[in-house]
């Protein structure tokens, strides 16, 4: 596995440059993408944690990781970067995101699809996970972040 620590959630598919309030690639908010390098460790950790919580919510509704150690070994063997401190469900996402077209038996990686998803092809599941993760991030933005910006704008006008 690469020795490099993953320093940012960026996946190289930034849509905030096109005006999106939530990046379709990494799911961070536009201001987080812009300000990332100025964030202190606590601010970065808060973003990482929010992304992890949302992704785990999506992943646990689709599959079960029954052997986290086997999953970890497979990621390392295939040189797929992951954040060791995150949930194994985040690791599962990394595996599916990078290997959806070549994985034949998820059980060999320590995970199994839940019954309602067993008929799905992994590329189709990967895309559904990504869409749902984006929609949750976008909903979080509109519920918790956008109202604060609206209030700040009103305060500036007074």
C-alpha 93/C-alpha 10 separation (Å) is: 15
What is the residue extent of each domain of the chain?
55-157
Q: Which long-range contacts (CB under 8 A, 24 or more apart) does 37-43 make?
A: none
Residue pLDDT, tens place only, 112-151? 999 999 999 999 999 999 999 999 999 999 988 887 766 6
CA 20 to chain centre: 17
How much is the CA Rg of the chain, to the nearest whole Å? 17
The tokens describing 108, both together, are 């060999």
SS3 48: helix
Q: What is the pTM of this model?
A: 0.87
Residue-level pLDDT at 2: 46
Place of tokens 């972040």: 145
Residue pLDDT, tens place only, 25-43? 899 999 899 899 999 999 9
123 vs 23, residue with greater confidence: 123
Residue-level pLDDT at 5: 59
């Amino acid at each position: 596995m690469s020795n490099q620590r993953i320093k940012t959630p960026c996946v190289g598919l930034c849509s905030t440059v096109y005006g999106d309030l939530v990046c379709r690639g990494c799911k961070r908010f536009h201001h987080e993408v812009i300000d990332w390098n100025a964030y202190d460790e606590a601010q970065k950790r808060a973003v990482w944690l929010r992304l992890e919580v949302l992704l785990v919510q999506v992943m646990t509704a689709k599959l079960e990781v029954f052997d986290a150690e086997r999953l970890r070994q497979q990621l390392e063997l295939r040189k797929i970067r992951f954040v060791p401190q995150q949930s194994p469900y985040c690791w599962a996402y990394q595996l599916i995101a990078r290997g959806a077209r070549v994985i034949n038996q998820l059980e060999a990686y320590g995970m199994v699809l839940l019954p309602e998803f067993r008929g799905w092809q992994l590329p189709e599941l990967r895309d559904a996970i990504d869409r749902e993760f984006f929609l949750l991030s976008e909903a979080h933005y509109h519920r918790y972040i956008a109202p604060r910006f609206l209030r700040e704008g009103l305060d500036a006008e007074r």
